[in-house]
A and B are shown apart, each in its own frame.
Chain A
Amino acid sequence: MTMRARGRRSTALAGGLGVALVLAGCGAGATSGGGGAGATNASDLELDCAPYEEFGDLEGETVSVYTSIVDPEDQPHIDSYVPFEECTGVEVQYEGSREFEAQLVVRVQSGNAPDIAYIPQPGLLANLVAANAVVPAPQQVEANVDEYWDESWKNYGSVNGEFYAAPLGANAKSFVWYSPSAFADAGYEIPTTWDEMLALSDQIAESGAKPWCAGIGSGDATGWPATDWLEDVVLRTAGPDVYDQWVAHQIPFNDPQIVQALDTVGGILKNPDYVNGGLGEVQSIATTEFTDAGLPILDGSCFMHRQASFYQANWPEGTDISEDGDIFAFPLPPIEGDTAPVLGGGEFTAAFNDEPATQAFQTYLSSPEWANIKAQVSGPGWVSANTGLDVENLTSPIDQLAAEQFQDPNAVFRFDGSDLMPGEIGAGALWTELTNWLATDKQTQQVLTDVESAWPTS
């Protein structure tokens, strides 16, 4: 009896202590304030209002935008609308959600669709078009896209030959992160071909270190970073035409060329001499979170990490990301030819009605003026494939490098294939099979054959 009473009292004490600690946390935080601001104040930027006058008087209209881009990347978006709002008097309401893909479909089905959504998967766009929810882009938007974007981008915003959604932001995935200072100390050169990269890996391995670190963990999306590896290499070994056929399932998923590509990836990711620097054996790739997988570069237990340009947000605050700083990235080298193909992703602006205000805003978003305004109000981590974008306006050197890749007329661009494949594959079987490939050393041929047999028949 006494014991029980004492027990209860100490639980209450522990609970009270917890509350007190948390409250102390709130109180102390209040003194220092915070919140970052963009590089430039958006209302100081000039915008030529003429292109939007043809949409008539829009004063007092509102346009709602629904996106998957959340805090802290959302504020530069909101800021970048200010010049347009000042021109036209339209009010833009921004809303971002990490549950965007699921919630957008719920809203469209219940008749509560936003005016505009930024859709990151062409596959989702195609579904919404098939449900008659999305309206085709107005001709002003199409003119902008024809003039300022590579044709492949326009294709990804089109469904059955009809152009619906203009591209917006972009991210380049074909990057290898490395530490310029560590490379300089050890006397390593940045490789410009695949063979040089393997030679460098051998050289690092002989010195006793592990050259590569990787991680494909991402909650219930575990495996996607491995799909990027595969896609990048298919683009390099088999070429863009085979890549397109593969993504569209015009050739079998386990075509010999794809097997060869995955074996090439395995030459790095499944080579016990090469991986997994600072994290463990080959199997640890499957269990390491992708967000943390590159961090061993910082303490020198790993030298190279292939991940998209957006990985720059994952380096701890205070890391010097520049060509001769702590961390930088080089383009994943080509296997054949001189120019490395670029694998990437991006968002597309789909409109759910053809109100003049919506169309005016779509036009603004597809214009080079918007891209430049957005670049000036953004911090690091944003880039667009709009060729009217002045690279100098981008804040971070890695974004500038990505923009140069997008604007290089010789570089082949292809959209992330797993976002184009049916969901059962691109966000299902391919993830799990590639995870098995690394975690249980499943054979390459078997992995690809199993994905092939999972492909939906219709």
Chain B
Amino acid sequence: MTTTTPVMAPVPPDERRLTRTERRAVAAKNKLSSPAASIIALVIAALWTVPTLGLLITSFRPELDIRRSGWWTALSDPQFTLDNYNEVLYGGATNFATLFVNSLVITLPAVVIPISLALLAAYAFAWIKFPGRNLLFVAVFALQVVPIQVTLIPLLSLYVDAGLAGSFWTIWLSHSIFALPLAIFLLHNFMKEIPASLIEAARMDGAGHVKIFFQVLLPLLTPAIAAFGVFQFLWVWNDLLVALTFAGGAPDVVPLTVRVAELAGTRGSDWYLLAAGAFVSIVLPLVVFLSLQRYFVRGLLAGSVKG
């Protein structure tokens, strides 16, 4: 590892002088793409993947092997079976397809509702001047601090009073409520980055708020929306706490995660099924993530520059 200190790209004398930031950017780029850095990145990636690989191997091992030895023993003595997947998919009282559909029915509105509301709110915060705007924005931002656990019982009482308990509405509304502060904050910062001259030009051409929102801003916001969509999708899909609390008492509403949590059986004697259960439940998030990962990475940076 001692071989190379990255060489600074020599600046040709006739080229214009780079600013200080630009020089730092070039240096950082050289450092990050050096062979040493690449090797470190690969090693970290491999290390981080080992537990997942172990889980995958475990999920295909026979019950007794899982209980008696670690997954690495399967490398020297490979014995694989599909029994675990069979039990996870068809062993339960509730049809697995139903749970999958439930999860989808929960997730899609729980992603669409907060994004739609947050877009409108973010637009207002970013481009409409009204009294108390900054105060209100700080208040919304501060809501992120509230831990969702303290809201569970009061929210559930409200739902019970409103007669919503045991329906999909409780879960949709709860996820929307919990997602909105972050969604508004992220989308607001993204919208603020769009040059004001663009909005002013549209206004000069006679566009109103509706036209500006749909025809000028929305196309520019697609990456931010997709990024937050992926974010929220993963969060809702993997959620157990909200579903367990609010879908309680309605077995036909519960999502996949509740079934996975119950896989181990009343006294935990079936824990060997958990690896298979975990893999079944991550199929869809994996597909979503792989197909949208470009947006996801871009979205992580969204709003991080401006505060």
Contacts and interface: CB of A to CB of B under 8 A. Distances in A.
Nearest to B39: A3
A282 to B, nearest CB: 21
Contacts, number: 147
Interface stretch (B3-11, B180-188, B263-271, B299-307): B263-271
Contact of A35 (B63, B91, B265): B91
B96 to A, nearest CB: 9
B160 A313 contact: no
A111 B160 contact: yes
A4 B269 CA distance: 45
A102 B266 CA distance: 15
A16 B92 CA distance: 28
Interface size band for A: 35 or more
Contacts of A219: 268
A98 B156 contact: no
Contact of A103 (B90, B93, B245, B271): B245
A11 interface: yes
Interface in A15-37: 15-16, 18-19, 21-23, 25-26, 28-30, 32-35
Interface in A281-299: 291-292, 295
A131 to B, nearest CB: 13
Interface in B251-307: 251, 258, 261-271, 276, 279-280, 283, 286-287, 290
Contact of B91 (A72, A74, A291): A72
B249 A70 contact: no
A29 B82 contact: yes
B38 A3 contact: yes
Contacts of B263: 71
A11 B297 CA distance: 15
Interface stretch (A89-97, A159-167, A267-275, A365-373): A89-97
Interface string A81-113: 000000000000111111100010011011110
A178 interface: no
B157 interface: yes
A317 B66 CA distance: 13
Interface string B116-159: 00000000000000000000000000000000000011101101
A191 B266 CA distance: 31
B64 interface: yes
A324 interface: no
A94 B94 CA distance: 12
A114 B178 CA distance: 26
A278 to B, nearest CB: 10
A107 B156 contact: yes
B25 interface: no
A4 B33 contact: yes
Contact of B85 (A3, A29, A111): A29
B152 A106 contact: yes
Interface residues of B, number: 56
B35 interface: yes
A22 B249 CA distance: 32
B104 to A, nearest CB: 16
A74 to B, nearest CB: 6
Given A35-B91, A111-B157, A317-B63, A70 B286 contact: no
Contacts of B156: 106-107, 110, 112
B51 interface: no
A28 B86 CA distance: 8
Top 3 A-B pairs ranked by shortest CB distance? A110-B156, A110-B157, A29-B86
18 contacts: A14-B49, A15-B290, A25-B59, A26-B280, A28-B82, A34-B91, A66-B249, A70-B265, A71-B91, A74-B93, A95-B249, A95-B251, A98-B262, A99-B244, A112-B165, A295-B68, A313-B270, A316-B63
Interface of A: 1, 3-4, 7, 11-12, 14-16, 18-19, 21-23, 25-26, 28-30, 32-35, 64, 66, 68-75, 78, 93-99, 103, 106-107, 109-112, 114, 218-219, 291-292, 295, 310, 313-314, 316-317
